Structures are given as structure tokens and as C-alpha cells.
Amino acid sequence: MKKILIWLAMGCLILACQEDPKVATQKFLDAYTKTFQELYYASAEAEWKSNTYIVEGDTVTGPATERANKALASFTGSKENIEKARALLAYKDQFSDLQVRQLEAILYNAANNPATVPDLVDARIKAETAQNEKLFGFDFQIDGKSVSTNEIDAILKEETNLDKRLAAWEASKEVGKNLRDGLVALQELRNKTVQALGYDDYFSYQVSSYGMTTQEMVDLNRRLVEELRPLYRELHTYFRYELAKKYGASEVPDLIPAHWLPNRWGQDWNSLVTVEGFDLDGALKEKDAEWLCRQGEKFYKSMGFDAMPETFWTKSSLYPLPEGTYYKKNNHASAWHMDLENDVRSLMSVVPNADWYETVHHELGHIYYYMCYTNPDVPPLLREGANRAFHEAIGSLLGFAAMQKPFLAHLDLIPADAKTDQMQILLKEALNYIVFIPWSAGVMTDFEYELYSNNLSPDQFNAKWWELKAKYQGIAPPSERGEEYCDAPSKTHINNDAAQYYDYALSNVTLFQIHNHIATKILKQDPKETNYYGSTETGEFLAGILEKGASVDWRKLMKDELGEELSANAMLNYFAPLMDYLKDANKGRKYTL
């Protein structure tokens, strides 16, 4: 049999292993996976508690999370595992594709916390834990009264008094002041950690999981922004005038004041449009929060997916904490694959409204992705999306599908014969999906690229943030925001999901490609008016994508399942009728983008 040389942790001893290379490699992978899963589960449980049980002055939960994360980091970044994986990959032509992918995953995980720089890894874990505690434990206040982020969001969506809107928007940004020093520390610690294993910086490290260079990823995102820019320009122009009229402004501003918009970051404007005969908020007032969650599960079951495990319902944190509860929780919706097996959970704060209705379907999309690729053909180390964008694409796809008129009529949430203006529906959707691209592919991606790849100076954090907001979104702060503020980390992902926000931009593009395929090839329906409910063929198609996890190359998966590469064409075609409508509405108006 062929010999395989394995460098052990000491770096000087070579063992001549007489086993078949595939067998020897599999033994290493099996041993690594067993320990990895145990430590991963412990870390996930600790993080879960840190996100669902936040008590001011708690000296137990934070340190426990640090210890669990440190144990996982010590193992994945151990010198022995790094050297073994590197040595084995020298013989990758003798291994199966699955084995090679797992070895590469081991090295990728190691780069996040290599044991070759233990002090840096320890400092980073401590800094990230502290940053999360400051973010999620922050006491948002308006006029000295504590408010939840849900209450702030409600004001920005519904209030017409500009003074009250301004107070809510400014309150939402106060958290950034507390997070500035932590972001400065994390900028350095994240870069130095991955540089220890040869990456240029933290941004390039995160991009590498796509098999792309930093420049390729930046160029791709900028191309998406440019391709969708003409439509965004029309939307921006239209709502500059509409909002000026709504708020009684004497002049139409060139840039939209941030507090005029219904979202804290200007990433989603869809609540600016109410579609007649499409009052989903009104219909859902008759429901309770549990109905939304259970109905989400029914949607997936109707397509042939299994019921969720009972532990999902008993272990998740799905609803807002009762008033007066002495602890807080993270209000940002998320899905968790706790053990890379069958413990799946969701963290939400569901209330019966249209936003949470869509969010429920989105988050359950992640859960069903977990459940599908938890199968014998996908090793635990590859139980993740085909790429990171795929997870968001699937979640967003099912949230998107659940908002289409025929599906809502099927659930009796709107009358089947409701007279709705299709152009207004398209406009509302564009205010979600099109408006999101300049934010995600533009502002967030460029800011984190500057932060990590170009070592953005801390005395330029806020200046760069608002420069990018103006450039990509055409949004300005209500008043001067100097460096005494730090508005970027008011967005959760800057702190705890760093250098990955382009995932969401790419997911939107992928979403429309998959949706177009389902609508035209499977359902034979207009992509603008579909109903996935009860279509087991749609379920089978989706399962064919989901069940593979990261066991195949994502580019090949797209070609095999969709017959095309990543492209904005499906998205552009979907919204094409809206372009003419907006151009006509904007005749005589001043364009400022």
C-alpha cells in the first residue's frame, strides 16, 4: 500500500503509515469530528444562554461563554490539527472529494483561532464576548424611558411627527458610542489572528470560503450595485419627493434624511407602501404569535418536508420576554444548529405583524436547511450552506414566497378576490429587495473591506460610514455625526458576524434565480404570483439543493440545479415593469444620484 507521511505536532517526527491513505485520513477526520462536535455543542449552548439570558452585572454567563469558546478555539486552532491537515492535503489527489473538503474546512476553521498565537486568540474571544454583552444588554431610551428595539422600529414605521422620529432614530444609534472601543480592538485582533495562518486580513479570510479573492468579491458586489443602480435611482428619486410631501418639508433634499425612512439603517423601505386589499398587518392582528410559528411549519410540511423536532418548540426562544422580566435577550432573529445533528433552535421575538410573519418563514428556512443536510451523506464538518449566501438565499426565498398574493389568499390572510394593484405590489417588493442591495453590497461590504483590508483609522469610522451611506444609498444623517459617534456597530453584524455581509447581497440574487426556476419550470406560474403551498415537486427540488450542504462546489450546484451561474438577470427581469412606471412618475423631478 502507498505510504502517507504525517507530520505530528512536534513538527519533526514523520510516521510512515502503512494503511491505505484514505483509511488513515478517515481515522483522523473521525477523531477530529467527534471532539469538534462535542466542543461545538458546548460553545453553542453557552452562546445560546448569553443571547437569551442577559442580566446586568452577571459575572457567570459571560465567563462561561468565554471558556466554552476558548475550548473550541483551542481545539480547532491547535498546532497539531493544523500540521496534520496540511500534511494530509499534500496527498489530496489520493483522497475522495469529501475528505479533501473536510481537511480544507479544518484549516479554514483553524485560521480563525490558531494556537500559534494563543494570546491573540484569548484576547479576541474575550473582546467578542464583551462586545456582545454591551450590544445586547444596552438600555435603549427615549426621553429617559427604556424602550425595546421593536418599539423603536414601530415609531420609525408609523410615526409622522418628525421630532418623534428623530428621537427614536437617535436613540437607536446611542449604542454605537459604547461599542466604538470594542470595534477598534476587534479590528486589530481579527486581522492579526488570521494573519498568523497566512491570510492578508480578516476580510480576505472570510471571502476565501467562496473560493474567491478579496478583489473578486469586492468587484462582484460593486457590479451588482451598478446593475441595479438605474432602478434604485428611480426609487430614490420617487421617495425623496414623496417623503418630503409626507413630512411637509419646504424643499426636497438631495439625500434622504436617515430618520425619514422606516428602518434604522435604511436597508428596507417596504412599509412606505400600503397595497390596497393587502392589509397583512390587519389580518394578523386576529392571530397570535404562536400561530405565525406553527403556520410556518405547516408551509414546509405541505411541500413534503418533515415536522420539526419537538425540541425545536421546547428549547427555542420564539417570543418577546414578558413585561417585567428581570433579564433581557437578543432581539435579532436567528437560527441555530446547536450540535450539527438534531438540536435545532430559533431565537426570535415574534409578534403578529407582517414583518414577523415573513421573518418566521425566513428563519424556518434556515432550520429546514439544517435538517436536510443532517444526513449520512454529509459529514458534520460540511453541514453548512453550499456557500454562506445559500443559507440566506433559502431563508429569504421562503419568506418571499410566503408574501405573494396567491399564497396569502390560500391562507385566508387576504381575500382571494382582493383587488390589488400589481405595480404597487412590485413597488413594495422593490423597497425590500432592490433597496437592500446598495446597503448590503455597497455600504456594509465596502465599510468592512475598508475596516479590515485597508485598516481604516478609528478616527475615520463615522466619516467613512456616512460617506458610503451617501455614495451608495443616497442617505444623510439628520445632523452632523462626528467621530464622537460610532454608527456602524449599531448594526449587529459589524460586531458578531463580521466581514460577511455580502452574503446577504449574494443571497438576494440567488433567491430570485431559484424563485424564477420554481415559478417557470415547476409551478408554471408568473414569478410575481406564485403559491408554493402543497407543491411536493417544489419541495423535492429544494431538498435536492439543501440536502447536499457544503459537500459540493456551489458553482457546480447552481449550474446543475439552475442551469446558470450567479447572475442578477432574474432579479432585473422580475422588476422590469416597475422601471417604466417610476420613470413616468419621476418626469420633471431632479435626480441626485
pLDDT for 410 equals 93
- Euclidean distance between CA atoms 113 and 81, whole angstroms: 12
CA 307-309-358 angle, to 5 degrees, is 60
pLDDT for 19 equals 67
Number of neighbouring beta carbons within 10 Å of residue 482: 7
352-361 average pLDDT score = 94
Kindly report the backbone phi and psi dihedral angles of residue 562, in degrees, each rounded to the nearest multiple of 5, phi listed first.
-110, -15
- The mean-pLDDT minimum among 235-244, 268-277, 500-509, 530-539 falls in 268-277
Bridge partners (DSSP) listed for residue 6 = 15
List all residues 6 or more positions away from 221 whose beta carbon is below 8 Å from its beta carbon: 441, 442, 445, 502, 505, 506
337-366 average pLDDT score = 96
Supply the pTM of this predicted model: 0.85
SS (H, E, C) 341-378: CCCEEEECCCCCCHHHHHHHHHHHHHHHHHHHHCCCCC
Nearest to 371 by CA among 304, 448, 441, 427: 304
**E strand segments, 166-304:** 256-257
**For residue 14, pLDDT beyond 50:** no
What percent of the chain has a predicted confidence (pLDDT) above 90?
Answer: 87
Number of neighbouring beta carbons within 10 Å of residue 507: 23
**For residue 6, pLDDT beyond 80:** no
Q: Is the dihedral of CA 472, 473, 475, 477 positive or negative?
A: negative
55-60 average pLDDT score = 91
What DSSP character marks residue 454?
A: S
Nearest to 168 by CA among 193, 186, 151: 151
Task: Give the pLDDT confidence of 192-204 residue by residue, as tens digits.
Answer: 999 988 899 999 9
Which grid coordinates are listed for 462? 463615522
Nearest to 443 by CA among 435, 432, 455, 454: 435
Task: Give the pLDDT confidence of 118-131 residue by residue, as tens digits.
Answer: 899 899 989 999 99
Q: pLDDT band for position 11 (50/70/90)?
A: very low
278-304 average pLDDT score = 94
- Euclidean distance between CA atoms 5 and 65, whole angstroms: 38
**For residue 567, pLDDT beyond 50:** yes
The CB-side HSE value for 8 (13 A sphere, CA atoms) comes to: 7
Bridge partners (DSSP) listed for residue 335 = 346
The CB-side HSE value for 200 (13 A sphere, CA atoms) comes to: 13
Which grid coordinates are listed for 11? 513538527
Beta strands 344-347; 145-146: pairing state: unpaired
**Burial environment of residue 260 by CB neighbours within 10 A (0 to 12, 13 to 18, 19 or more):** buried
Kindly report the backbone phi and psi dihedral angles of residue 286, in degrees, each rounded to the nearest multiple of 5, phi listed first.
-85, -5
Task: Give the pLDDT confidence of 70-87 residue by residue, as tens digits.
Answer: 999 999 999 999 999 999
Domains and CATH numbers, the chain: 4-138+174-198 (no CATH), 216-585 (1.10.1370.30)
What percent of the chain has a predicted confidence (pLDDT) above 70?
Answer: 97
Task: Give the pLDDT confidence of 418-436 residue by residue, as tens digits.
Answer: 888 889 999 999 999 999 9
- Euclidean distance between CA atoms 502 and 220, whole angstroms: 10
**Residue for grid cell 389568499:** 409
- Euclidean distance between CA atoms 221 and 217, whole angstroms: 6
Mean per-residue pLDDT of the chain: 93
**E strand segments, 414-552:** 475-476
Number of neighbouring beta carbons within 10 Å of residue 370: 25
13 vs 10, 29, 223, CA distance in Å? Answer: 7, 20, 50
